[in-house]
Amino acid sequence: MTKDEWEALCDGCGRCCLHKVEDADTGQVYYTSVACRLLDIKTCRCRRYKERFQCMSDCLMITPDTNTDVFRCLPETCAYRLVAEGRELEWWHPLVSGDPMTVHQAVISVRDIAISEADIHPDELDEYLSTLIIELCSSVKRKPGPKR
Ligand code: SF4
Ligand code: SF4
């Protein structure tokens, strides 16, 4: 896979840029709805993508050589995780739909869900845990049917 093909696998959902909380007893990773301060909430793209690793020390680098154990930290919908697990891309993935907007239309992206960490106090992180789970479960859209 070329570098461009690898980059194109990213659906632009922005979910991996949400802060996570790990259960110390079970190792289970939970997402909060609080996004990295560099994420543009409207476009769901990193504002400093090229220099992200210099800007954010905890930003995770994913390459074709990344140990697949790392993928459990990614959302279940993430294309990198789907490919690593041998699963198909969903209908809303831009490489399938041909339209970069379908990831937003399917409510897979965090556009209408996330809040920037710049807008909250660090001690408030846990308060944004349950909100996200409820919103993600209730909002994912099915593929639209043919127009009549
Ligand atoms: S979760 Fe995966 S597909 Fe979505 S923005 Fe992050 S890397 Fe891209
Ligand atoms: S630095 Fe950019 S790519 Fe990394 S977590 Fe923050 S917004 Fe996402």
Q: Each residue of 121-141: pLDDT tens digit?
A: 878 877 777 555 545 544 555
Atom 7, ligand 2: which residue's CA is nearest?
39
- Please choose, from the candidates 117, 103, 90, the residue with its C-alpha nearest in 3D space to the C-alpha of residue 20: 117
* Closest-approaching ligand to the CA atom of 92: 1
How many structural domains does the chain have?
1
Q: What is the spatial order of strands in the sheet that 115-116 belongs to?
A: 18-22, 29-35, 115-116
Q: Is residue 148 part of a domain?
A: no
16 located within any domain: yes
Tokens of 28: 């289970």
- Are 9 and 80 within 8 A, CB to CB? yes
Q: Is 9 in the pocket of ligand 2 (CB under 6 A)?
A: no
- The residue whose C-alpha atom lies closest to atom 4 belonging to ligand 1 is 13
Extended strands (E) in 25-106: 29-35, 39-40, 45-46
User: Which is it for the CA torsion 143, 136, 86, 45, positive or negative?
Assistant: positive
Which residue, judged by its Cα, is nearest atom 4 of ligand 2? 59
6 residue type, one letter: W
Q: Which residue has the higher pLDDT, 68 or 16?
A: 16
- Is the residue at 35 inside a domain? yes
In a domain, 73, yes or no: yes
142 confidence band (pLDDT: 50, 70, 90): low
Ligand with minimal distance to 118 CA? 2
Alpha helices per DSSP H over 28-112: 52-55, 79-84, 94-97, 102-105
* 70, part of any domain: yes
| 145 is a domain residue | no
pLDDT of residue 130: 57
Which residues span the domain enclosing 76? 3-139
Tell me the pLDDT tens digit for each residue of 1-40.
898 999 999 999 999 999 888 778 887 778 888 999 999 9
Measured in Å, residue 52 CA sits from the centre of ligand 2 at: 6
Tell me the CA–centroid distance for residue 92 and ligand 2, in Å.
Answer: 22
pLDDT in tens, 82-135: 999 999 999 999 999 999 999 999 999 999 889 999 998 878 877 777 555 545
Q: Is residue 29 part of a domain?
A: yes
Nearest CA to ligand 2 atom 1: 52
Residue whose C-alpha is closest to residue 112's, from 88, 146, 136, 133: 136
Element (H, E) at 73: none
Per the domain annotation, does 22 fall within a domain?
Answer: yes
